Structure 1
Amino acid sequence: MLEHRSSHLIGLLLPLADRTLILPNVAVAELIDYQPGAFDLDSPPWYLGQVNWRDRKIPLLSFESACGQKTVIGERARIVVLNTLSGRPNLKFIALLVQGIPRSYKLDSQLSYVDVPLCSLEKAAVQVADQVAKVPDLLALEELLVGAGLAL
C-alpha cells in the first residue's frame, strides 16, 4: 500500500531591515557572523564588499539597498551565504546581509500569493504564517553583480 505524501519544502525566512525573504533551505550554504566587507568608494551602494568565507572571498550584498532602500547594519546583523544558480565558475556563492537569525518554516504546496508591490529583485510575495515574505530572484542578484563587474 502506498502512503500518501503531501509535498513539503523547508523554507528559510531571512529577516531584513524592511522585509522578510523566503528561500528553500537548500539555497543557503551557511549562516556566519557579520564582518565588514572590503570595498572601494566607487562601488554601488548595494555592494558591501568582499567577505572571507572558507578560504575564499565572496561578494556581500545589501538586498534592501539593491531595491532602492537604505542599507542597515543592525546589532543583530549576520551574513547568509547563498549557493548561486547560474553555474558561473567565478561566482559560486553570494553573501547577503540579514538582520538576525533565519528561521526555518515548513512550506506546503498551498502557498498563498499576496498582491503587494515588489522590487525588480523579487519574484513574488507569499503569506507565511502571520507575515508576508518575499521570494528573491537569485539569478537577478547574480546578474546585478556581473553587470557591475563585481563577480570576481
Structure 2
Amino acid sequence: MPESDGAIRSLLLPLDDAYLLLPGTVVAEVVGYTTPQPPALDGAPEWLLGTVAWRGQQVPCVAFEALNGQTLGAPGTRARTVVLKALGSRSGMPYIALRTRGIPRLINVERDGIEPLDEPDALGPAVREAVLAHGEPALIPDMDYLETQTHRLLGD
C-alpha cells in the first residue's frame, strides 16, 4: 500500500500496557517470539533478555517495558520479536530486537494525525513522547536511549 501525501507507514507495537509507534523504515522484520539465549553478562539488567538468532547473526533482545522502568510481564502466546534497524553509528550492533506482547499493526500516520498528549514526566527514560496517532494512544520510543543503553552493555 503506497504512502499517501505526507503519510508515514508506521507500526503500532503492543506492549504490556501501551503501544509503541515506530516508522516502518526502522523495522527490519517481525518474527515469531522464541525465548532469547540468556545474556552472557553477570548481573545483566532485567530489560536485556539476551540474544536472538536472526539471519545468521545474534541480535540483542530488549524488553522495552523493563528498560523504561516498568514491571516486565511474561510473554504471551501472541508475543513477537521485532527486529529494529539501529539508527546510531555504533559499530557491531546494526540491529536490536524488541519483544512485543502481540502482533504489530500497520498504520498510516498523517502529519496532522499526531497530537501530543499532556503527560507528566512519568513517561520513563526510554520514551521520547506520548501521542495520539489518529486517536490511538501511543508512545514514541527514544531510539538513541535504547541503543545507547544496549551498546553500553554489549558494545565493543
Is the structural similarity TM-score above 0.5? yes
> 1:76: Cα distance to partner?
1.0
> 1:39: Cα distance to partner?
1.7
**2:60 alignment counterpart:** 59
Following superposition of structure 1 onto structure 2, how do residues 1-152 of structure 1 map, counting pairs within 5 Å? 6-40=5-39, 42-72=43-73, 73-110=75-112, 111-117=114-120, 118-147=123-152, 149-151=153-155
Q: Is the 8 A contact 1:59 1:151 kept in 2?
A: no
User: Equivalent residue of 2:154, what SS?
Assistant: coil
> 1:151: Cα distance to partner?
3.2
User: Equivalent residue of 1:58, what SS?
Assistant: strand
Root mean square deviation of aligned Cα: 1.5
Distance 1:108 1:129 in 2: 8
Alignment coverage as a number of residue pairs: 147
Q: Is the 8 A contact 1:21 1:134 kept in 2?
A: yes
> 1:100: Cα distance to partner?
0.9
Consecutive unaligned residues in structure 2, runs of 5 or more: none
The amino acid of 2:134's aligned partner reads: A
Distance 1:151 1:36, change over 3 A: farther
> 1:104: Cα distance to partner?
0.9
User: Equivalent residue of 1:86, what SS?
Assistant: coil
> 1:89: Cα distance to partner?
2.3
> 1:82: Cα distance to partner?
0.1
Distance 2:8 2:25 in 1: 10
> 1:129: Cα distance to partner?
3.4
Q: TM-score, normalised by structure 2?
A: 0.88
Distance 2:87 2:133 in 1: 24
* Percent of pairs with identical residues: 35
Q: TM-score, normalised by structure 1?
A: 0.90
Q: Is the 8 A contact 2:90 2:151 kept in 1?
A: no
